[in-house]
Amino acid sequence: MNSEQTNLQAALFGLGLDRAAPAPLHQQLTEALRQMILSGRAAPGTRLPASRQLARDLSVSRQTTLTALDQLLAEGYLETRPGAGTYVARDLPHLAPPPAPAPIATPTAPIPARPFHPGAPDMAQFPHAVWARHLDRAWRRPAPELLALPDPFGWPPLRAAIAAHLAAWRGLDRPGAQVMITSGATETFELLARALFRPGDSVLVESPGYGPMRSALTRAGLAITRMAVDDDGAILPDGARARGVIVTPSRHYPMGMTLPLARRLALIDWARRTNAWVIEDDYDSEFRYTGAPLPPLAALDAERVIYVGSFSKLLSPALRLGYAVLPQALLAPLRAALAETGPRASLIPQPALASFMESGEFATHLRRMRRLYGQRQAVLRAALARALPDHLIAAPDPAGMHLLCRPGPALEQVPDTEIAAIARDAGITLRALSAYWPDGDGPQGLVLGYAGFEPEALEAAVLRLADVLKARYP
Amino acid sequence: MNSEQTNLQAALFGLGLDRAAPAPLHQQLTEALRQMILSGRAAPGTRLPASRQLARDLSVSRQTTLTALDQLLAEGYLETRPGAGTYVARDLPHLAPPPAPAPIATPTAPIPARPFHPGAPDMAQFPHAVWARHLDRAWRRPAPELLALPDPFGWPPLRAAIAAHLAAWRGLDRPGAQVMITSGATETFELLARALFRPGDSVLVESPGYGPMRSALTRAGLAITRMAVDDDGAILPDGARARGVIVTPSRHYPMGMTLPLARRLALIDWARRTNAWVIEDDYDSEFRYTGAPLPPLAALDAERVIYVGSFSKLLSPALRLGYAVLPQALLAPLRAALAETGPRASLIPQPALASFMESGEFATHLRRMRRLYGQRQAVLRAALARALPDHLIAAPDPAGMHLLCRPGPALEQVPDTEIAAIARDAGITLRALSAYWPDGDGPQGLVLGYAGFEPEALEAAVLRLADVLKARYP
């Protein structure tokens, strides 16, 4: 027995196998031997004690040692030589001991949204029992088509239900075949960026605008040209040269104005003349409290405009379902773009959402939430007018899920980012309007989401906000 | 009345409103007027007949004409001048008539997979009733945390259940906090590509290998260096310089071999010396029929290896759920990468899958499918040996969901792509092995998926295949 063998035997003898541990003894022994080999404590070529000897040394059954040795033979840590016993494999490269394990991270528990987090619907109002019934019905005895190779564009009955919804609510008349389901607006923008444009192509976007959309375009290598926005919405620059334009005509994000008809027609006309694509992001038009909505741009030109929608704000962000309504000519390019990444939208919620829409329960829910959100906007405006009349000025907004407030005389010298920071310290979420501009140099204002919160929570948050703001800026 | 007015009145008079149509008359009138204005048939500045006159001309109620005119006023198509009636808006740019509508596309109905489509589990064996019960339980009265702002890394109990599964089945011991849920392996690769590397960085991939993974890396701007593969798996080139490597050590895709321990240790050693990341794609190791599996690479180094898994093959591709087990140091970079795109994995299946795993039903299902798939592989091999002994030679495979067949003497001169084309014409899916190589210049072979098909379907497909192959190559 050479010194390597002696050392190994000593080390094995000192192994602390734990009979009380949940892992069986043979597994503990396997792991201990593996670590000795990996760390170099058991050197390549060292002969192991016979299994009987090992069992005696460790006071375990021979079966335990045989199982451990077999496993390590199978894994290649050990090798046998005919009639000569078991050895640590010779051709193993030496592996330095792994770094000390880092402290264990604890999982982040989901936290409830706090006022005035914008854009999230009130999930407590979600019709959970109805929804669970649709899920159960769809999956208990699923239709054979649900078990087939899924259409990458999504579950066909859901696509038809979305088409029917858009015809009824938005005056957009298109067959379900032109609806593509995605996991949300950001994936839609990524797919469109790859299917419609080539890296380096120029695309016009509104400034301010929706950040995740801009970064999806940038990731696809597109050159972004920013369009200024005035009180009517995006201004198409004279002689604009671009392969496409992305707009929020129904309700500018985050400013809230509606693009007037003349600008809509000019946009379509420009797109036709220059052979450019128009991408219309229609993210919360269903929540309109007063006045008649304009039909979407897509209703003006079926072959030039791509309509982008999502269920995140209308129903629940947990669904991760969005969609695009595509011109005929784009069906094949988008199928190709989807084939490259594979679909991301889960099929699990799709048949349930389809029957939820077909049954009329979706429309009922939207009407109910529209009434509720309209009331909440009024509550928030009244609370602001009472508690902070010289600090935050909010005009009534005919639609949407958030209010845009301008700083009043008491806050005129205070940057909106500073106001947002003070609110954050008091546990209140305010978004600074200036931060929606590329370099943070936009006009001053604050975005207050109200849709997701009970009237009492809105009023309490306004009072808390009034306390901290008035303490600093009376 | 000028000639424009006369023309407009004549056109209006000739409008065919359809009382039997589902759309109400005021809506038909709105749309007809809108189209006349958009097409230029009603010129800017033209005065419209008074609403009473219009109602008489069209034999509709005055309320109908008032509703239509109000809508078009709101939309900006018409304008009023005080005391002077209603006009087509003056400042509308002219819009050429839209192109003739393309023929309506019909939706693609999902089609059942046909033999020998690889990689798909047998969805008829999915425990639908059990699954529907878990969905129903999770969502009928959802836990408050399910309604909060979701953790972008996924539902914490699911992350803990995945960690427990990996400890039991794969010998990988990590806390749930290090598990990140995604919508599948392709999204995982996209996130890793953005979080771990910079555009232009070099990454080693196996050749042949998994196409969607390669294209995710290419889209992220990474430079791909291909590693050759021999009978043991990927060969790390001497002095390889790269920022990362992506491997399938448990079961090479699509060849099926297991990377031996010496190569594993050399890979880890290289990664430590060059400060590179190792991404381990472990896509179907749970389906191993004989022999003990090697523990994953990630068990050898917790800080250097990213373990990538998915439920698409284990359970159902409809879930669109995958995951990565991350080193501690990568938790923050991956959270940042996810914040940029937002999460894509739907929350709807996550609590149901968590309780399905916690209850032990997932493990039971895996064991049951493992036995079933093992039987199906035996059935397919026996059928091939009976019907096509000189055409397709398949060695037994200790694991997986597909068989790799080598062309026998009767097919030695026939390109595998040609064999796949003949099969396709007979309604049978064969994948040519050579097509997994970058330029299609790999060795000859055919990939036959068997997991998703009943034994009878496998046998019938082999007989059909034998008919068409023997007719051409006896």
Q: What is the pLDDT of residues A433-462, one digit of tens each?
A: 998 887 777 889 999 999 999 999 999 999
Across the interface, which of B102, B183, B328 has its CB nearest the CB of A105?
Answer: B328
Only one residue has tokens 């990140």, namely: B180
Q: Do B147 and A187 touch (CB under 8 A)?
A: no
**Pairing status of strand A277-281 against strand A305-310:** parallel
Q: Do A126 and B147 touch (CB under 8 A)?
A: yes
Contacts of B107 in chain A (CB under 8 A): 151, 153, 156, 159-160, 175-177
Say yes or no: domain A365-472 is CATH 1.20.1250.20: no
Question: pLDDT (tens digit, 9 = 90+) per residue, A279-338?
Answer: 999 988 889 988 777 889 999 999 999 999 999 999 999 999 999 999 999 999 999 999
- Mean pLDDT in chain A? 90
Which residues lie across from A85 on neighbouring strands? Answer: A81
Across the interface, which of A194, A216, A342 has its CB nearest the CB of B212?
Answer: A342
A window 362-381, beta carbon within 8 A of B: none
Q: Given this model, what pLDDT does residue A283 score? A: 87
Instruction: Measure in Å the smallest separation between the Cα of A466 and chain B Cα atoms.
Output: 26
Rounded to 5 degrees, φ, ψ at B222 are -80, 150
Contacts of B198 in chain A (CB under 8 A): none
The answer to whether residues A185 and A161 touch, using CB atoms and an 8 Å cutoff, is no
pLDDT at B59 over 90: no
- CB-side neighbour CA atoms (13 Å) of B213: 27
The answer to whether residues B452 and B123 touch, using CB atoms and an 8 Å cutoff, is yes
* Cβ–Cβ contact B345 with A under 8 A: yes
Using the CB atoms, write b or e for B129-152: b if 16+ within 10 Å.
ebbbbbbbebbeebeebbbebbbb
Q: Do B343 and A329 touch (CB under 8 A)?
A: no
Q: Kindly write down the DSSP assignment for every residue of A344-390, as one continuous string.
A: -S-STHHHHHHHHHHTTHHHHHHHHHHHHHHHHHHHHHHHHHHH-TT
pLDDT at B80 over 80: yes
Instruction: Measure in Å the smallest separation between the Cα of A358 and chain B Cα atoms.
Output: 18
Which DSSP helix (H) or strand (E) runs through A449?
A: strand A446-449
Which residues lie across from A308 on neighbouring strands? Answer: A281, A324
Highest average pLDDT, of A8-17, A204-213, A324-333, comes from A324-333
pLDDT at B302 over 50: yes
Nearest C-alpha in B relative to A134: B136
> Cα-atom radius of gyration of chain A, to the nearest Å?
32
In this structure, which topology does domain B151-346 adopt according to CATH? Aspartate Aminotransferase; domain 2 (3.40.640)
* Cβ–Cβ contact A95 with B under 8 A: yes
Which ranges of A171-229 does DSSP label H, i.e. alpha helix?
185-196, 211-219
Nearest C-alpha in B relative to A31: B171
* Cβ–Cβ contact A93 with B under 8 A: yes
Q: Given this model, what pLDDT does residue B1 score? A: 55
Long-range contacts at A408-413 (CB < 8 A, ≥ 24 apart): A410/A469, A410/A473, A410/A474, A411/A469, A411/A473
Tokens linked to B37? 């204005």
A window 138-197, beta carbon within 8 A of B: 139-142, 144-151, 153, 156, 159-160, 175-178, 183-184, 186-187, 190, 194
Cα distances (Å, whole numbers) of residue A445 to A249, A374, B319: 21, 21, 42
* Cβ–Cβ contact A267 with B under 8 A: no
Tokens linked to A286? 């269903």
Q: Do A347 and B71 touch (CB under 8 A)?
A: no
Q: Do A159 and B318 touch (CB under 8 A)?
A: no
Q: Given this model, what pLDDT does residue A258 score? A: 92
Please give the sequence-ordered ranges of beta strands (E in DSSP) within A150-243, or none if there are none.
179-182, 202-206, 223-227, 229-230, 233-234
Question: pLDDT (tens digit, 9 = 90+) per residue, A158-188?
Answer: 999 999 999 988 889 999 999 999 999 999 9
The answer to whether residues A181 and A345 touch, using CB atoms and an 8 Å cutoff, is yes
Across the interface, which of A145, A212, A341 has its CB nearest the CB of B109?
Answer: A145
What's the average model confidence in pLDDT over B370-387?
97
pLDDT at A259 over 70: yes
Q: Given this model, what pLDDT does residue B51 score? A: 85
pLDDT at A5 over 90: no
Rounded to 5 degrees, φ, ψ at B439 are -105, 25
**SS3 of residue A133 by DSSP:** helix
What's the average model confidence in pLDDT over B374-397?
95
What's the average model confidence in pLDDT over A196-202?
96
Which DSSP helix (H) or strand (E) runs through B122?
A: none
Tokens linked to A108? 């982040």
Q: Do A148 and B292 touch (CB under 8 A)?
A: no
Nearest in space to A261 (alpha carbons), one of A231, A296, A287: A296
Which residues lie across from B460 on neighbouring strands? Answer: none
**SS3 of residue A438 by DSSP:** coil
Please give the Cα distance from A466 to B55 (Å, whole number): 56
Q: Kindly write down the DSSP assignment for every residue of B208-243, as one continuous string.
A: S--HHHHHHHHHTTPEEEEEPEETTEE-PPTT---S
Q: Do A110 and B329 touch (CB under 8 A)?
A: no
* pLDDT bracket for residue A104 (50, 70, 90): very low
Q: Given this model, what pLDDT does residue A103 score? A: 47
Residue A298 has what DSSP assignment? Answer: G
Across the interface, which of B89, B95, B346 has its CB nearest the CB of A320?
Answer: B346
What's the average model confidence in pLDDT over A58-66?
87
At residue A389, what is the residue type?
A: P
Q: Given this model, what pLDDT does residue A269 score? A: 94
The answer to whether residues A421 and A466 touch, using CB atoms and an 8 Å cutoff, is no
* Cβ–Cβ contact B100 with A under 8 A: no
Most A CBs within 10 A among B38, B210, B265, B278, hence the mutation to make, goes to: B265
Nearest C-alpha in B relative to A304: B98
What's the average model confidence in pLDDT over B285-312?
90
Which residues lie across from A324 on neighbouring strands? Answer: A180, A308
* Cβ–Cβ contact A100 with B under 8 A: no
* pLDDT bracket for residue B174 (50, 70, 90): very high
Task: Quote the pTM value.
Answer: 0.87
Instruction: Measure in Å the smallest separation between the Cα of A404 and chain B Cα atoms.
Output: 22
What's the average model confidence in pLDDT over A253-272?
93
Across the interface, which of A107, A139, A318 has its CB nearest the CB of B150?
Answer: A318
Please give the Cα distance from A134 to B321 (Å, whole number): 21
Q: Given this model, what pLDDT does residue B104 score? A: 46
Rounded to 5 degrees, φ, ψ at A472 are -90, -40
Across the interface, which of A92, A95, A104 has its CB nearest the CB of B177?
Answer: A104
Q: Given this model, what pLDDT does residue B92 score? A: 75
Instruction: Measure in Å the smallest separation between the Cα of B389 and chain A Cα atoms.
Output: 31
Least confident of A2-16, B13-27, B415-429: A2-16
Contacts of B343 in chain A (CB under 8 A): 320
Q: Do B302 and A345 touch (CB under 8 A)?
A: no
Tell me the domain boundaries of chain A. Answer: 3-88, 151-346, 365-472
Nearest in space to A172 (alpha carbons), one of A180, A164, A161, A160: A164
Least confident of A389-403, B160-174, B284-298, B423-437: B284-298
Question: pLDDT (tens digit, 9 = 90+) per residue, B225-256?
Answer: 999 999 999 999 999 999 999 999 999 999 99
Q: Do A321 and B99 touch (CB under 8 A)?
A: no
Only one residue has tokens 């007037």, namely: A260
Number of inter-chain CB pairs under 8 A, A vs B? 290
Higher-confidence residue of A307 and A7: namely A307
B window 274-333, beta carbon within 8 A of A: 291-292, 294-295, 300-303, 317-321, 328-329, 331
Which residues lie across from B308 on neighbouring strands? Answer: B281, B324
Question: pLDDT (tens digit, 9 = 90+) per residue, A340-370?
Answer: 999 999 999 999 999 999 999 999 999 999 9
Please give the sequence-ordered ranges of beta strands (E in DSSP) within B320-401, or none if there are none.
322-325, 392-394
pLDDT at B53 over 90: no
Please give the Cα distance from B358 to B351 (Å, whole number): 10
- Mean pLDDT in chain B? 90
Across the interface, which of A95, A105, A352 has its CB nearest the CB of B177?
Answer: A105
Architecture of domain A3-88: Orthogonal Bundle (1.10)
Euclidean distance between the first and final Cα of chain B, in Å? 87
* pLDDT bracket for residue B194 (50, 70, 90): very high
Please give the Cα distance from A253 to A233 (Å, whole number): 10
* pLDDT bracket for residue A60 (50, 70, 90): confident
pLDDT > 90: percent of chain B: 65
Least confident of A7-11, B52-56, B436-440: A7-11
Q: Given this model, what pLDDT does residue A83 score? A: 75
* pLDDT bracket for residue B98 (50, 70, 90): low
The answer to whether residues B187 and B311 touch, using CB atoms and an 8 Å cutoff, is no
Nearest C-alpha in A relative to B98: A301
Higher-confidence residue of A372 and B88: namely A372
Only one residue has tokens 């050895």, namely: A87
Cα distances (Å, whole numbers) of residue A239 to A136, A262, A274, B119: 55, 17, 10, 52
Please give the Cα distance from B187 to B185 (Å, whole number): 6
What's the average model confidence in pLDDT over A255-270?
93
Question: pLDDT (tens digit, 9 = 90+) per residue, B347-371?
Answer: 999 999 999 999 999 999 999 999 9
Tokens linked to A170? 């938005």
The C-alpha angle with vertex B303 and arms to B302 and B309, in degrees rounded to 5, equals 60
The answer to whether residues B397 and B404 touch, using CB atoms and an 8 Å cutoff, is yes
Please give the Cα distance from A365 to A343 (Å, whole number): 28
Contacts of B178 in chain A (CB under 8 A): 105
What's the average model confidence in pLDDT over B426-431?
95
Please give the Cα distance from A211 to B242 (Å, whole number): 33
Higher-confidence residue of A33 and A278: namely A278
Give this complex's ipTM. Answer: 0.86
Q: Kindly write down the DSSP assignment for every residue of A70-132, as one continuous string.
A: HHHHHHTSEEEETTTEEEE-TTPPP-PPPPPPPPPPPPPPPB---TB--S---GGGS-HHHHH
**SS3 of residue A444 by DSSP:** coil
Nearest C-alpha in A relative to B89: A262
Residue B362 has what DSSP assignment? Answer: H
* Cis geometry, peptide bond prior to residue A98 (ω within 30 degrees of 0): no
